[in-house]
């Protein structure tokens, strides 16, 4: 087990048994993201994705909030610049979490709104504390569906439900979020992080890193691909996987009761 804190950035990281947990660490500010924290979070994601010891990533918040959104300094930066300035300030494109090859699990320990909700939506799987609430927040602030939320939400929960949440900016509790499909699991607040870490650990210990990376790429590409094209690509990828080390390793251990020891992803390049 290892842990570290990025001094003054509002981000803490901890690694245990193949799972990197990233904490939003500004509880006194409801984990609102300033520019430094925003950039540090994206850098922490990139570092986890490049670390061969890390096979799954969990993001959570300290205190009573997951992330309340962008703070005033971040909003002022955006108001004063353009999209190129945002990329320069972050060091990464705004959709950076979507480019990760490793699974990203969000443990919503508390409320999420605006930019905080967007970061949760970028995750592959979401756990939510039963007392937490979500809100897009944008329309009540005179803003638009920021950071891809107007693209993500319709694909996650359907156009009509996405319109409701984006237009009204109303608060959604954990039960409704689960019913809508915004989150996949609801747990008591004191259990939500451990549950997300256990889920991530199952992925880290039992699932092929290469398979998960390719599946993630398939899903994101398939969102805007027609059926025949997606099926054709899956056949090509299946042929590739049959000759890959991960499949050969799994075949060799069939019938055994020990976990398959899949090799890590290479640090760079396509899986």
CB neighbour list of residue 199: distance below 8 Å, 6 or more residues apart: 105, 125, 127, 185
Give residue 271's pLDDT.
46
At 245, the pLDDT band (50, 70, 90 cuts) reads: confident
35 or 55, which is more confident: 55
Give residue 1's pLDDT.
61
User: Is residue 162 pLDDT above 90, yes or no?
Assistant: yes
At 167, the pLDDT band (50, 70, 90 cuts) reads: very high
Q: What is the DSSP string of the chain?
A: -EEEEETTTTEEEEEETTEEEEEE--GGGTT-B-HHHHHHHHHHHHHHHH-TT--EEEEEESTTEEE--B-HHHHHHHHHS-HHHHHHHHSS-TTGGGG-SS-EEEEE-SEEETHHHHHHHHSSEEEEETT-EEE--GGGGT---GGGHHHHHHHHH-HHHHHHHHHH---EEHHHHHHHTS-SEEE-HHHHHHHHHHHHHHHHHHS-HHHHHHHHHHHHHHTTS-HHHHHHHHHHHHHHHHTSHHHHHHHHTTT-SSPP-PPPPPSSS--
CB neighbours (10 Å) of residue 251? Answer: 10
Helical pair 149-157 and 159-168, crossing angle rounded to 10 deg? 140
The closest of 118, 117, 114, 65 to 96, measured between CA atoms, is 118
Q: How far apart are the first and last CA of the chain?
A: 26
Percent of the chain with pLDDT over 90: 65
79 or 207, which is more confident: 207
User: Is residue 55 pLDDT above 80, yes or no?
Assistant: yes
The pLDDT tens digits of the residues spanning 115-129 come to 999 999 999 999 999
Global confidence as pTM: 0.87
Give residue 252's pLDDT.
76
Give residue 189's pLDDT.
97
Least confident segment among 176-185, 226-235, 259-268: 226-235
The pLDDT mean for the chain works out to 88
At 155, the pLDDT band (50, 70, 90 cuts) reads: very high
Least confident segment among 73-77, 99-103, 110-114, 173-177: 73-77
Backbone phi and psi for residue 25, each to the nearest 5 degrees, phi listed first: -115, 45
What is the C-alpha separation between 107 and 62, in angstroms, rounded? 11
Give residue 90's pLDDT.
81
Query: Which tokens in the block code for residue 61?
Result: 């918040």
The pLDDT tens digits of the residues spanning 200-242 come to 999 999 999 999 999 999 998 888 876 677 667 777 777 777 6
263 or 68, which is more confident: 68
């Amino acid at each position: 087990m290892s842990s570290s804190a990025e001094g003054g950035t509002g981000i803490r990281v901890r690694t245990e048994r193949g799972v990197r947990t990233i904490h939003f660490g500004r509880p006194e500010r409801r984990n609102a993201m300033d520019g430094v924290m925003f950039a540090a979070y994206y850098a922490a994601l990139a570092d986890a994705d490049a670390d061969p010891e890390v096979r799954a990533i969990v993001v959570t918040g300290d205190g009573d909030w997951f992330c309340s959104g962008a703070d005033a300094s971040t909003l002022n930066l955006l108001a004063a610049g353009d999209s190129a300035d945002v990329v320069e300030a972050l060091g990464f494109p705004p959709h950076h979490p979507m480019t990760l090859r490793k699974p990203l699990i969000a443990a919503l320990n508390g409320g999420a709104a605006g930019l905080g909700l967007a970061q949760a939506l970028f995750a592959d799987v979401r756990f939510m504390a039963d007392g937490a609430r979500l809100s897009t927040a944008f329309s009540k602030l005179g803003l638009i569906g920021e950071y891809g939320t107007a693209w993500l939400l319709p694909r996650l929960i359907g156009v009509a439900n996405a319109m409701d949440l984006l237009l009204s900016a109303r608060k959604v509790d954990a039960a409704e979020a689960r019913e809508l499909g915004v989150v996949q699991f609801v747990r008591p607040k004191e259990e939500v992080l451990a549950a997300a870490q256990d889920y991530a650990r199952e992925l880290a210990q039992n699932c092929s890193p290469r398979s998960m990376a390719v599946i993630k790429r398939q899903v994101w590409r398939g969102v805007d691909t027609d059926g025949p094209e997606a099926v054709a690509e899956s056949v090509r990828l299946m042929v590739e996987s049959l000759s890959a080390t991960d499949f050969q390793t799994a075949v060799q251990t069939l019938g055994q009761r020990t976990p398959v020891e899949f090799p890590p992803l290479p640090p760079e390049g396509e899986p």
